Structure 1
Amino acid sequence: MSATIRAEVLTIGDEILFGQITDTNTQWIGTQLTDIGIRPIRKTSVGDNRQHILDALQEASQRVDVVIITGGLGPTRDDITKHTLCAYFGTSLEINQDALALVTSFFEKRGRAMTDLNIQQAALPLNATYVPNLWGTAPGMWFDHENVVYVSLPGVPYEMKNLMEFEILPRLKARFATPVIIHKSVRTIGIGESFLAETIAAWESALPEHIKLAYLPHFGQVRLRLTGTSPDEVVLRQELQAQVDLLVPQIEEYIFGYDGDDLETVVGTLLLQAGATLGTAESCTGGFVAHQITAVPGSSAYFEGSVVSYSNRIKTTVLGVSAQILEQYGAVSEQTAREMAEGARRVLNTTYAIATTGIAGPTGGTPEKPVGTVWIACATPDETFTQLLTLRNNRKINIELTSSYALNLLRKTILKTNLAVKD
């Protein structure tokens, strides 16, 4: 098997450390490197400080084969990456004529005059291999030094991505003999991470050495990600599928999809296959369930609309929830959730309707119904299913968790009612 090629991503810029921008580059770079068989093992972020950058480069050189650097290549004084790279490699800057021609053309096409700072963007360390940037003014740079490849890229995401895709990834594939790395995911909901781990412990312990398992929890869901490494892609895909086939019978009731599936897409596919339609009645989620559903392209084929019945007045006048039910049981109750779902199905004239009502927090709870108490319901033409959720003392998390569980209740209801029809 080919030796593992390891990589580190080094992001440079005070704005990242200060939280002024979100670093989306590292996640994207990690995915791309994995796809070509290079394993990212670390991410390091440093500010615009010469010594900190030098230290980070030296440390990275001791543990990885590839260092991907982003940021600090702009024309202003705070962009110090090129000067620091010169210090690290013991060289100096010199205007690269190919880079200058490209920068000049960039400004000419836009009818803009170049400044001395713009011209200096064409200055590169003498030992750098110039990587043309057709999408901006900051060139990419490639260094092959003491068996470590260093790649310096602009921090602007669309410039970085284009340089990686069209220039850097092909060069890395040519430079290294890399193994195949493949991910396979099993998506679950309704089972906690620790209980899931206990349930599949024997299966996990029996995994072959070249297949690793990761638990990735997110808002009531746990994604089980298998990562396999092998020189033979065909054999590896077969091995990963064989492991999934062994896993599924142990946790089948909790699995809603695989790989890139998400709940809203899975639910949409089920509705399309059934020729069914959907509406929502939302109180504590304030339209978030409808937002998730309509984020799926083509959802207009099955989603009719939503009633955000935040007040009791809308619950009664629009959805037809009984005033007596509200008075006797309260807005946050199984009875109210049931009538909301049935009212939405009637008003919106849909096959299915889901409803949410609860105390999202951080205030509004009582000893009998603390913050995080939520009822959800799913109405069908024949019956209505309900579920009590006991969530957390965090409004944002409660809204997202409720939405996930409501979509999952719908998913299970569709499968159950479709099976009933087939029987």
Structure 2
Amino acid sequence: MTISSPRAEILTIGDEILFGQIIDTNTQWIGTQLTDIGIRPVRKTSVGDNKTDILDAFKAASLRADVVIVTGGLGPTRDDITKHTFCEYFGTELEINQEALTLITGFFAKRGRVMTELNTQQAALPKNCTYIPNLWGTAPGMWFEKDNVIYVSLPGVPFEMKSLMEFEILPRLKKIFSTQIIQHKSVRTIGIGESFLAEKIAPWEDALPENIKLAYLPHFGHVKLRLTGTGTDQALLDEQLQAQVETLLPYISEHVYGFDNDEMETVIGSLLKNNNATVATAESCTGGFVASQITSVPGSSGYFEGSVVSYSNEVKMNVLGVSKETLETFGAVSEQTAREMAEGARKLLNTTYAISTTGIAGPDGGTAEKPVGTVWIACATPDETFTQLLTLRNIRKINVEMTSSYALNLLRKTILKSNLEVKN
């Protein structure tokens, strides 16, 4: 086919997805793989195990997509109706595919298991489909074409689906379509809301070339700016995207902490390793979540010394050395307490840096003076301590995650500031 910008729809089938009993990770992975070969996903749809709904979804997808990727509903039980629905849609009937039957029989024999009639029926495929062998399971893949639209049916088991896509479907699609290159470049920011960010970079966004689009992807205090470029020359497209990033940075450099797949904890890890520095945490309202993020990075034992989860005032005083007077005068949720927690952890664990968190995560515990979402964070160095007040929401989980992100960002900025002062 000579379609330069083919479109795809991803359709998942199964009541368990609609009921929220399982998390659909398939569509995210498929969308990424299609984009990488120049096929643009235009919609992701989920339907239950209902023939009418599935047929309606097929018809609707055919009006907006050149490729329809279907996952799920290919098991041996009666609720798996995808093959029967395909038969109705394509005006055909099921028949035992001998190649599929041989593969399925061998699959069971290799594992010393006895096949049932239900297993045999997995080799029954619509007559007019192209059989796609599944070397990793018992549900075959199927390929159909109708009215210039390609339909691909894959098992819903993620490992089987990914293997079929990687070794069978994607190579076939690349041969069929003459596609443009779709390339992404992301800039990761923190500490500025989506609307404020949009206003700040408006002149840059308005000047973007026609082949580069911008998307805002906010998440718990972070906003990822994703640039998506299309073209036919990979090197030229890379240059164009990089040039736009370099033009963007002067607008928002103070908020940028990474690019593409960078996570805050990996950026922190690199900074600490490059500076032969170590860190510890003293956590109250985050309950060890900051330490968990830091240690999620392989090799973090080279720069992370430990953590004190000081939920009670007694631990703050007896372990971290926060003074009783500070707690009585200013309270556990205060700039002074956050400062002494960080300084105490740094001395106790003998680290270059230490970060602390203390606040009211919620949903209760707030007062008129210090409502839920009031949080103080601090970062101690050998020479000084930096603090920051956060005014967050009344949702506990969000407050914990946002506090952790901001605490790590405070550490990042402190390390960069220390480096700048050394150079000067």
Alignment TM class, shorter chain as reference = over 0.9
Alignment of 1:243-258 (within 5 A): 243-258=244-259
- Provide the rounded CA distance (Å) in 2 between the counterparts of 1:278 and 1:166: 44
Question: Structure 1 residue 216 and structure 2 residue 217: aligned?
Answer: yes
Question: Structure 1 residue 177 and structure 2 residue 166: aligned?
Answer: no
Structure 1 outlier segments of 4+, above 2 Å: none
Q: Which amino acid aligns with 1:44?
A: T
Alignment of 1:99-110 (within 5 A): 99-110=100-111
What's the counterpart of residue 343 of structure 2?
A: 342
Alignment of 1:16-415 (within 5 A): 16-415=17-416
1:14-63 Cα distance to aligned partner (Å, 9 max, x none): 00001111111000100000000000010111000001000100110011
Task: Give, in angstroms, the shift of residue 231 of structure 1.
Answer: 1.2
- Provide the rounded CA distance (Å) in 2 between the counterparts of 1:182 and 1:247: 18
- Provide the rounded CA distance (Å) in 1 between the counterparts of 2:93 and 2:405: 55
SS of 2:246's equivalent? helix
SS of 1:307's equivalent? strand
SS of 1:103's equivalent? helix
Task: Give, in angstroms, the shift of residue 421 of structure 1.
Answer: 1.5
Please tell me whether the aligned partners of residues 12 and 72 of structure 1 are also in contact (alpha carbons under 8 angstroms): yes
- Provide the rounded CA distance (Å) in 1 between the counterparts of 2:164 and 2:332: 55
Please tell me whether the aligned partners of residues 333 and 360 of structure 2 are also in contact (alpha carbons under 8 angstroms): yes
SS of 1:138's equivalent? coil
Please tell me whether the aligned partners of residues 5 and 37 of structure 1 are also in contact (alpha carbons under 8 angstroms): yes
Q: Which amino acid aligns with 1:387?
A: Q
Task: Give, in angstroms, the shift of residue 226 of structure 1.
Answer: 0.2
Please tell me whether the aligned partners of residues 335 and 387 of structure 2 are also in contact (alpha carbons under 8 angstroms): yes
1:380-402 Cα distance to aligned partner (Å, 9 max, x none): 00000000000000000000000
- Provide the rounded CA distance (Å) in 2 between the counterparts of 1:321 and 1:334: 12
- Provide the rounded CA distance (Å) in 1 between the counterparts of 2:174 and 2:324: 68
Task: Give, in angstroms, the shift of residue 422 of structure 1.
Answer: 2.0
- Provide the rounded CA distance (Å) in 1 between the counterparts of 2:6 and 2:204: 28
Q: Which amino acid aligns with 2:241?
A: L
Task: Give, in angstroms, the shift of residue 2 of structure 1.
Answer: 6.0
Task: Give, in angstroms, the shift of residue 5 of structure 1.
Answer: 0.5
- Provide the rounded CA distance (Å) in 2 between the counterparts of 1:228 and 1:330: 52
1:254-293 Cα distance to aligned partner (Å, 9 max, x none): 1000000010000000000000000000000000000000
- Provide the rounded CA distance (Å) in 2 between the counterparts of 1:260 and 1:156: 26
Q: Which amino acid aligns with 1:367?
A: A
1:99-153 Cα distance to aligned partner (Å, 9 max, x none): 1011001100110000000000011111111111111100011112211010000
Q: Which amino acid aligns with 2:25?
A: T
Q: Which amino acid aligns with 1:315?
A: K
- Provide the rounded CA distance (Å) in 2 between the counterparts of 1:59 and 1:144: 15
- Provide the rounded CA distance (Å) in 2 between the counterparts of 1:91 and 1:294: 56
Q: Which amino acid aligns with 2:15?
A: D
- Provide the rounded CA distance (Å) in 2 between the counterparts of 1:21 and 1:383: 48
Please tell me whether the aligned partners of residues 188 and 222 of structure 2 are also in contact (alpha carbons under 8 angstroms): yes
- Provide the rounded CA distance (Å) in 2 between the counterparts of 1:383 and 1:159: 55
Please tell me whether the aligned partners of residues 4 and 177 of structure 2 are also in contact (alpha carbons under 8 angstroms): no
Query: How high is the sequence identity, in percent, across the aligned residues?
Result: 76
- Provide the rounded CA distance (Å) in 2 between the counterparts of 1:80 and 1:366: 56
Question: Which blocks of at least 5 consecutive residues in structure 1 are unaligned?
Answer: none
- Provide the rounded CA distance (Å) in 1 between the counterparts of 2:3 and 2:195: 35
1:363-388 Cα distance to aligned partner (Å, 9 max, x none): 00000000000000000000000000
SS of 1:150's equivalent? strand
SS of 1:15's equivalent? helix
- Provide the rounded CA distance (Å) in 2 between the counterparts of 1:32 and 1:408: 32
Matched residue pairs, number?
Answer: 423
Q: Which range moves more in the overlay, 34-43 or 2-11?
A: 2-11
Please tell me whether the aligned partners of residues 94 and 123 of structure 1 are also in contact (alpha carbons under 8 angstroms): yes
Please tell me whether the aligned partners of residues 361 and 372 of structure 2 are also in contact (alpha carbons under 8 angstroms): yes
Distance change (3 Å), C-alpha of 1:241 and 1:2: farther
SS of 1:121's equivalent? helix
Task: Give, in angstroms, the shift of residue 4 of structure 1.
Answer: 1.2
Question: Which blocks of at least 5 consecutive residues in structure 2 are unaligned?
Answer: none
1:282-331 Cα distance to aligned partner (Å, 9 max, x none): 00000000000000111011001100001111101100100110000000
Please tell me whether the aligned partners of residues 48 and 79 of structure 1 are also in contact (alpha carbons under 8 angstroms): yes
What's the counterpart of residue 416 of structure 1?
A: 417
Task: Give, in angstroms, the shift of residue 3 of structure 1.
Answer: 2.5
- Provide the rounded CA distance (Å) in 2 between the counterparts of 1:250 and 1:59: 43
Distance change (3 Å), C-alpha of 1:2 and 1:49: closer
Task: Give, in angstroms, the shift of residue 10 of structure 1.
Answer: 0.5
Please tell me whether the aligned partners of residues 186 and 259 of structure 2 are also in contact (alpha carbons under 8 angstroms): yes
TM-score (normalizing by structure 2): 0.99
What's the counterpart of residue 3 of structure 1?
A: 4
- Provide the rounded CA distance (Å) in 2 between the counterparts of 1:219 and 1:342: 27
SS of 1:413's equivalent? helix
